[in-house]
């Protein structure tokens, strides 16, 4: 009973995360972090009430947990005063010399660094709980199904709000992207990434239910009066909402991710032990999709915006080169830009529109690489399970495709920095890793296949 209550509370957190402006406000992401923290603290108690089901051992999570913990610890250290002078940011003494003996820190904005660390812990908590609940295939499927249905519901609200002419977000008048569909989000590109994740989950839900039948099987008509049609409807609603966002990069990244979902599932069905050919095959749509999204992101911006974006990328690279090891502090980019904003910049930028560059600038190269490596570690587990013929190919392929969507979109935008988007992504990835581990365990404990046949011994002919 404890696990069941815990599970549905977790589902409620996932479904409600996008509701208040994508949880992209301090009060909302703090509430989300508190709820997730409480669920993490309650997990041992919930698990102990069901001794028949074991939790995922920490040993398997050691590498990504250590990497994420190190990054979170470094983000908190960046906000702590009293560090050695060689570590502290020179702007503390350059701007306010009277604070030289009081509060110099690595981070320019200590509050933003602490908020950033809290959000990283939030995402880690969501992934951890998905890993634990995802040990059950039924619950892993329910998590993905819930994301698909909530994605359809948010798309329906967005379509109503956009085409009714209300121009509001939850009753508030829009203050940005008035002519684009944004649902409960402020930024159309962030909603496009969230909608893409919902679309992937809807396709996966349909795939899982239709896999047992073929187009010529008369039983396929039974799905017309089964829950399968709910996921078909959710997919159609999201497909209608995505073009209305006018986010070319977000729409293209979502479509590329759908291709990767299909390709990953096909690779699992046609699995072979040759690793390199499959990785090379999977890299083709990933690289092509990244290039396509890059081109579309530039084509949808005006001349002034394009020149500004080039300017921002150059400035961010300069920020990285100034402090490549220590960084300027997690979440420091808005403050850095305000202080170094050139006269030719047409507007104030609060994000670098490239999450990789911004991470390197904020955290420093070692911590940024460690954070990306933690995500890559979990994704590779899913890829290995697919290559070895995972029996859980729908969920593991979904995790790979969702990661590809966010990774591609992060090249030109900041959807990964929106809490609701990353919370949804981490839930999908956690379920995928849990099912990948289960599939790999089942494969390793299965008796080896008999590869040779007994041959009849030919009678030896006597020699005269």
Cβ–Cβ < 8 Å for 405, 261: no
265 sits in which H/E element: helix 248-269
Higher pLDDT, 397 or 461: 397
Cβ–Cβ < 8 Å for 21, 28: yes
In angstroms, what is the C-alpha Rg of the chain? Answer: 25
Dist. CA 433–CA 26, nearest whole Å: 30
Question: How confident is the model at residue 454, as a pLDDT?
Answer: 37
> Sign (positive/negative) of CA torsion 56, 57, 61, 66?
positive
> What is the tens place of the pLDDT at every residue in 129-164?
999 999 999 999 999 999 999 999 999 999 999 999
Beta pairing partners, 169: 172
Beta pairing partners, 173: 168
Mean pLDDT for the stretch of residues 335-356: 86
pLDDT at residue 352 is higher than 60: yes
Mean pLDDT for the stretch of residues 224-253: 89
> What is the tens place of the pLDDT at every residue in 30-89?
999 999 999 999 999 988 876 656 566 667 888 999 999 999 999 999 999 888 888 988
Cβ–Cβ < 8 Å for 112, 331: yes
Dist. CA 436–CA 391, nearest whole Å: 9
Strand blocks (E) in 171-255 = 172-173
Beta pairing partners, 172: 169
Measured CA distances, 142 to 14, 44, 258 (Å) = 12, 21, 20
> What is the tens place of the pLDDT at every residue in 116-125?
999 999 999 9
What residues contact residue 436 under an 8 Å CB cut-off, 6+ apart? 381, 382, 384, 385, 386, 390, 392, 396, 399
Dist. CA 158–CA 78, nearest whole Å: 39
List, in sequence order, the alpha helices (H) in 79-220.
91-95, 110-133, 137-163, 188-210
Burial of 389 (0-12, 13-18, 19+ CB in 10 A): middle
Checking phi first, is residue 20 left (phi over 0); if not, alpha (psi -120 to 50) or beta? beta
Question: DSSP per residue over 381-425, as a string?
Answer: HHHHHHHTT-TTHHHHHHHHHHHHHHHHHTTT--GGGSHHHHHHH
Dist. CA 55–CA 117, nearest whole Å: 26
Question: How confident is the model at residue 169, as a pLDDT?
Answer: 93
User: φ, ψ for residue 134 (rounded to 5)?
Assistant: -70, -5
User: φ, ψ for residue 173 (rounded to 5)?
Assistant: -65, 135
Question: How confident is the model at residue 4, as a pLDDT?
Answer: 92
């Amino acid at each position: 009973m404890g696990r069941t209550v815990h599970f549905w509370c977790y589902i409620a957190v996932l479904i409600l995360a996008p509701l208040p402006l994508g949880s992209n406000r301090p009060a909302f992401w703090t509430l989300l972090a508190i709820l997730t923290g409480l669920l993490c603290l309650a997990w041992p108690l919930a698990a102990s009430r069901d001794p028949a089901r074991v939790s995922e051992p920490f040993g398997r999570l050691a590498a990504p947990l250590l990497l994420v913990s190190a990054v979170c610890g470094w983000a908190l250290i960046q906000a702590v005063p009293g560090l050695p002078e060689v570590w502290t940011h020179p702007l503390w003494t350059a701007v306010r010399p009277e604070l030289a003996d009081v509060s110099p820190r690595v981070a320019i904005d200590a509050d933003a660094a602490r908020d950033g660390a809290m959000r990283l812990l939030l995402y880690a908590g969501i992934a951890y709980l998905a890993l634990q609940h995802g040990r059950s295939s039924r619950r892993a499927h329910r998590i993905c199904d819930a994301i698909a249905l909530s994605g359809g519901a948010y798309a329906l609200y967005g379509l109503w709000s956009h085409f009714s002419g209300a121009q509001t977000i939850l009753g508030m008048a829009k203050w940005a992207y008035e002519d684009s569909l944004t649902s409960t989000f402020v930024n159309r590109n962030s909603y496009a990434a969230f909608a893409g994740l919902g679309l992937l989950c809807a396709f996966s839900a349909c795939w899982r239910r239709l896999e047992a039948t073929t187009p010529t099987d008369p039983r396929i008509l039974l799905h017309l009066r089964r829950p399968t049609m709910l996921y078909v409807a959710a997919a159609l609603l999201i497909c209608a909402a995505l073009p209305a966002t006018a986010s070319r990069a977000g729409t293209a990244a979502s479509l590329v991710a759908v291709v990767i979902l299909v390709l990953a599932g096909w690779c699992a069905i046609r699995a072979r032990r040759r690793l390199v050919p499959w990785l090379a095959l999977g890299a083709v749509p990933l690289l092509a999709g990244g290039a396509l999204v890059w081109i579309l992101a530039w084509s949808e911006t005006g001349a002034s915006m394009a020149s500004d974006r080039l300017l921002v990328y150059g400035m961010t690279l300069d920020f990285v080169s100034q402090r490549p090891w220590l960084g300027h502090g997690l979440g420091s980019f808005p403050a850095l830009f305000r202080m170094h904003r050139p006269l030719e910049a047409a507007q104030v930028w609060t994000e670098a529109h490239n999450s990789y560059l911004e991470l390197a600038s904020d955290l420093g190269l070692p911590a940024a690489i460690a954070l990306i490596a933690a995500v890559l570690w979990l994704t590779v587990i899913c890829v290995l399970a697919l290559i070895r013929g995972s029996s859980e190919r729908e969920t593991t392929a979904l995790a790979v495709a969702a990661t590809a969507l966010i990774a591609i979109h992060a090249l030109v935008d900041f959807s990964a920095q929106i809490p609701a988007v990353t919370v949804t992504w981490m839930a999908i990835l956690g379920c995928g890793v849990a099912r990948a581990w289960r599939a790999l365990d089942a494969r390793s404990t299965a008796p080896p296949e008999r590869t040779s046949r007994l041959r009849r011994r030919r009678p030896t002919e006597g020699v005269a």
